[in-house]
């Protein structure tokens, strides 16, 4: 979908931390589009990524249309960095209403023998422990805020086998962790939900020579027959973070053109069709 052209101040007066919100150059990654859409809808955004230059590019884009944001460099797999990120966000914005854990990374070989101990730990740390660290650091401030919303960006690999022995299980654990947060903190007003992207055209695909030839097949396998992108993820994240979703918690929202809802043979037939 193209960048939305109309905005409704759905996050007016709120503050948000979005991790993994930087990207090289002009790339429109999931995290960058989430940060930009939140700012368009009135939020003040703390843009977090390990590379400050990439975060500053996102901030420049936001400031270019009059939004408010600042860059914060940090590694969410390190608890001390998460505590510092939270402290900086509260120091700048005086509060925290929304946390979006978008950091994720898919890597590791197709066989168990290809995944050594260090790679396994990194897969789990990036895709699961980072969200744990950020939630632990942020929840005390979220309890004082008005929004009290957490949105974790997962993947359909966490619900259906994709042949990813590390990435899929780590995302499945993130889904379970999110539901536990929703249960444990629900009585205190915190909502925790999951956005689960599927076969989207993002910079990760555009810059991967193994994936770009598969674009047409990835499009066809979805019942809708259309190709999604990072703006679709941002729109779903915005909804779950907004007051409009006040009764939703523990929800997993697939953003995948329906791929996760169909059987294998049906999907195969779609690929063979128009």
Among residues 7, 8, 167, 201, the one annotated as catalytic is 167
How far apart (Å, rounded) are the C-alpha atoms in residues 21 and 106? Answer: 17
Within 8 A by CB and 6+ apart from 67, the residues are: 36, 39, 40, 45
How far apart (Å, rounded) are the C-alpha atoms in residues 171 and 175? Answer: 6
Residue 273 phi/psi, 5-degree rounding, is -90, -165
Residue 119 phi/psi, 5-degree rounding, is -65, -45
- CA distances from residue 104 to 30, 44, 111, 122, 136 in whole angstroms, order as listed: 10, 23, 20, 11, 18
How far apart (Å, rounded) are the C-alpha atoms in residues 160 and 265? Answer: 15
Catalytic, 167? Answer: yes
Nearest to 153 by CA among 33, 4, 258, 57: 33
Residue 186 phi/psi, 5-degree rounding, is -60, -40
SS (H, E, C) 13-48: CCEEEEECCCCCCCCCCHHHHHHHHHHHCCCEEEEE
Catalytic residues: 167
């Amino acid at each position: 979908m193209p960048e939305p052209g109309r905005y409704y101040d759905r996050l007016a007066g709120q503050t948000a931390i979005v991790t993994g919100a930087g990207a090289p150059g002009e790339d429109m990654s999931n995290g960058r589009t989430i940060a930009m859409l939140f700012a368009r809808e009135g939020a003040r955004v703390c843009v977090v990524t390990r590379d400050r230059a990439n975060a500053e590019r996102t901030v420049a884009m936001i400031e270019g249309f009059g939004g408010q944001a600042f860059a914060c460099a940090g590694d969410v797999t390190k608890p001390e960095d998460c505590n510092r990120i939270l402290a900086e966000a509260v120091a700048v914005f005086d509060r925290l209403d929304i946390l979006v854990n978008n950091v994720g990374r898919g890597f590791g070989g197709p066989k168990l023998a290809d995944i050594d101990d260090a790679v396994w730990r990194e897969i789990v740390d990036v895709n699961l422990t980072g969200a744990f660290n950020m939630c632990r650091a942020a929840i005390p401030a979220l309890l004082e805020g008005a929004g009290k919303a957490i949105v974790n960006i997962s993947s359909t690999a966490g619900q259906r086998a994709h042949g990813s022995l590390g990435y899929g299980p780590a995302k499945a654990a993130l889904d379970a962790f999110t539901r536990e947060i929703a249960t444990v903190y629900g009585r205190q007003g915190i909502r925790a939900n999951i956005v689960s992207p599927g076969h989207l055209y993002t910079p990760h695909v555009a810059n991967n020579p193994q994936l770009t030839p598969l674009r047409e097949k990835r499009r066809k396998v979805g019942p809708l027959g259309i190709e999604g992108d990072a703006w679709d993820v941002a729109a779903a994240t915005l909804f779950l973070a907004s007051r409009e979703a006040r009764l939703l918690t523990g929800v997993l929202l697939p953003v995948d053109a329906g791929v996760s809802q169909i059987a294998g043979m049906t999907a195969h037939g779609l690929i063979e069709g128009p």
